[in-house]
Amino acid sequence: MKKKLSCILLIDDDEPTNYYNSKVVKKADCCKRIQICLGVDEAIAFLKNGDGEDYPSPELIFLDINMPGKDGWDFLDEYSSLSEEAKGDVVVAMLTTSLNPADEEKAFEKGAKGFARKPLSIEQIHNIIKKHLPEYW
């Protein structure tokens, strides 16, 4: 890797999944910070707080589809309406257990750039970075 991402944002309501995913991201050794949000509202608030040491803009977001209340689709809708400054230049990748091809199609239609199936792997992370963030690879 040329340089590490500033931040990877994990959005999933399941704490054990977030724990596992954060361990995989750490092993991938590809970012300086891992931010975990347990839901859509928390993630949108994190993105709106803008750049800075306490709230670095993520370059990569791994987003679960199925969450109680607002789900991954709701996040994509709200994310698309954020200011350009809040959105930044972020790669959103769905990370899900869904095997439904319609979910993958819908994810890309709503602006996701990646679609990965759980469990997250170092290879998946590296492939997304190589494809969508080559300046870091």
Domains annotated on the chain, with CATH: 9-117 (3.40.50.2300)
pLDDT at 50: 64
Arithmetic mean of pLDDT over the chain: 94
Burial of 96 (0-12, 13-18, 19+ CB in 10 A): buried
- 8 Å CB contact between 111 and 79: yes
Band of pLDDT at residue 110, cut at 50, 70 and 90: very high
- Which of 25-39, 81-95, 110-124 is the least confident region? 81-95
Band of pLDDT at residue 52, cut at 50, 70 and 90: low
